[in-house]
């Protein structure tokens, strides 16, 4: 097990550090203090996520590559949210929608180093961010800790902890774009995907949930592994605005997702405490952005598996909301386990 730190760049007056978690076997994870971002997941010598090699691209291009997303991940459909009879005006950074915590979202903040730990079978780093009262319009000062841990079984866990001094909605996730091929220049459309979900959320033209729908006999049925492209027919009404999968799935009990590249033999299994996963296949990724190792970006280059609470829960009476109160503590955990099936 090894832990290293390096200087990555500067954002405003903050030095941005890179923390490197290495299990001395097959997995090395590189994390930035900017946005708590996973910049690289190197598994068996190949990078398996999309990332940049400079601060400005993370800030200016707003792809959310690898970022911790919050205060509330996903879209909030209304400008006002009402909590205990008080209205709060949210920042609207996508038309009338508040996307991924608004313009002041957690992805674009300099997080503080809290601690790093090494044990016989793991190495971790914990980052901290204090979101001030009314940041992007959300009530309450929220103190967030995120702990990344790499284990000797080639898994990476992300644990989120938060407390608030006023009731506030909070949904945190990580926005990594996975590509399990040995070459990031190859798309993810032939990745096999399995999602343990009997239903998904149908979306309107602004990607706001309108109702819970069974996956039965729809392109959203991933209960048996299939290629992502198998049923992704872009001529279908359901993909008219999203240009592919960009949808929340309501996970069944064991909350598992499995992704696999036949080309490389690499698989990723995901377990989470969260009730929902948003599957986004980089349908709207800006073209020709320069990635860390010289590759250029293109649509369908990465799969995002954004485990989270129900999106827009505060505004949809058919979804349970997620208000964190001062007497409570927010906790969420998602584990990513990498394997090479030929091992
Ligand atoms: C697009 O609709 C998608 C979102 O789901 C994604 O999180 C974002 O790009 C990065 O807006």
Give the pLDDT confidence of 123-158 residue by residue, as tens digits: 999 999 999 999 999 999 999 999 999 999 999 999
Residue 186 has pLDDT above 80, yes or no: yes
Provide the pLDDT for residue 254.
83
**Residue 324 phi, psi (nearest 5):** -90, 130
pLDDT in tens, 19-64: 999 999 999 999 999 999 999 999 999 999 999 999 999 999 999 9
Average pLDDT, the chain: 97
291-317 average pLDDT score: 97
- Residue position matching structure tokens 């948003």: 278
Instruction: List the end-to-end C-alpha distance of the chain, in Å, as a whole number.
Output: 21
In the structure, what pLDDT confidence band is assigned to residue 230 with cuts at 50, 70 and 90?
Answer: very high
pTM of the model: 0.98
Task: Assign residue 112 the CATH number of its domain.
Answer: 2.70.98.10
Establish whether 191 is an annotated binding residue.
no
Query: CA 293, CA 284: separation in Å to the nearest integer?
Result: 21
Query: CA 38, CA 259: separation in Å to the nearest integer?
Result: 18
The 3-state DSSP class for residue 181 equals coil
Among 80-84, 140-144, 191-195, the least confident range: 80-84
Residues forming beta bridges with residue 114, ordered by sequence position: none
CA of 128 relative to ligand 1 center, distance in Å: 25
| Residues belonging to the active site | 175, 306
- Give me the domain span that covers residue 238: 2-340
Ligand 1 atom with minimal separation from the 69 CA = 7
Ligand 1 atom with minimal separation from the 278 CA = 5
Give the chain's radius of gyration (CA, Å). 19
pLDDT in tens, 242-270: 999 999 999 998 889 999 999 999 999 99
In the structure, what pLDDT confidence band is assigned to residue 296 with cuts at 50, 70 and 90?
Answer: very high
Residue 343 has pLDDT above 80, yes or no: no
Query: CA 341, CA 343: separation in Å to the nearest integer?
Result: 5
| Alpha helices per DSSP H over the chain | 55-61
Q: Is 246 in the pocket of ligand 1 (CB under 6 A)?
A: yes
Query: CA 89, CA 137: separation in Å to the nearest integer?
Result: 5
Provide the pLDDT for residue 65.
98
Of 93, 69, 72, 90, the C-alpha closest to 81 is 90
Provide the pLDDT for residue 341.
87
Q: Do the beta carbons of residue 304 and residue 280 sit within 8 Å?
A: yes
Q: Do the beta carbons of residue 32 and residue 16 sit within 8 Å?
A: yes
Share of the chain above pLDDT 70, in %: 100
Per the structure, how many domains does the chain have? Answer: 1
Q: Which of 61, 99, 101, 209 to mutate to test the pocket of ligand 1 (most atoms within 8 A of CB)?
A: 99
Ligand 1, atom 10, lies closest to the CA of 63
């Amino acid at each position: 097990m090894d832990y290293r730190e390096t200087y990555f760049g500067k954002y405003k007056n903050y030095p941005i550090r890179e923390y490197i978690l290495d299990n001395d076997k097959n997995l090395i994870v590189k994390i930035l203090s900017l946005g708590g971002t996973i910049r690289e997941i190197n598994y068996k010598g190949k990078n398996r996520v999309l990332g940049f090699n400079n601060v400005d691209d993370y800030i200016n291009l707003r792809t959310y590559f690898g970022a911790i997303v919050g205060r509330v991940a996903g879209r909030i459909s209304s400008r006002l949210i009402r909590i205990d009879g008080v209205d709060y005006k949210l920042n609207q950074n996508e038309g009338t929608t508040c996307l991924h915590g608004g313009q002041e979202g957690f992805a674009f903040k300099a997080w503080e180093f809290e601690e790093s730990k090494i044990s016989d079978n793991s190495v971790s780093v914990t980052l901290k961010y204090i979101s001030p009262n009314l940041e992007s319009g959300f009530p309450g000062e929220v103190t967030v800790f995120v702990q990344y841990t790499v284990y000797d079984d080639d898994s990476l866990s992300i644990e989120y902890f938060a407390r608030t001094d006023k009731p506030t909605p909070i949904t945190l996730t990580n926005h990594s774009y996975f590509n399990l091929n040995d070459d990031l220049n190859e798309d993810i459309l032939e990745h096999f995907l399995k999602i343990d979900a009997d239903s998904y959320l149908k979306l309107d033209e602004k990607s706001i949930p309108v109702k819970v729908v069974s996956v039965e006999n729809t392109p959203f049925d991933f209960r048996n592994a299939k290629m992502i492209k198998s049923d992704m027919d872009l001529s279908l009404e359901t993909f008219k605005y999203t240009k592919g999968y960009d949808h929340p799935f309501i996970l069944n009990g064991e909350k598992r997702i499995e992704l696999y590249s036949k080309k490389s033999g690499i698989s990723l299994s995901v377990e989470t405490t969260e009730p929902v996963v948003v599957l986004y296949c980089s349908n709207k990724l800006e073209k020709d952005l320069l990635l860390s190792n010289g590759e250029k970006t293109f649509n369908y280059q990465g799969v995002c598996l954004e485990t989270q609470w129900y999106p827009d829960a505060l505004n949809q009476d058919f979804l349970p909301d997620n208000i964190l109160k001062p007497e409570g503590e927010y906790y969420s955990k998602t584990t990513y386990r990498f394997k090479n099936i030929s091992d």
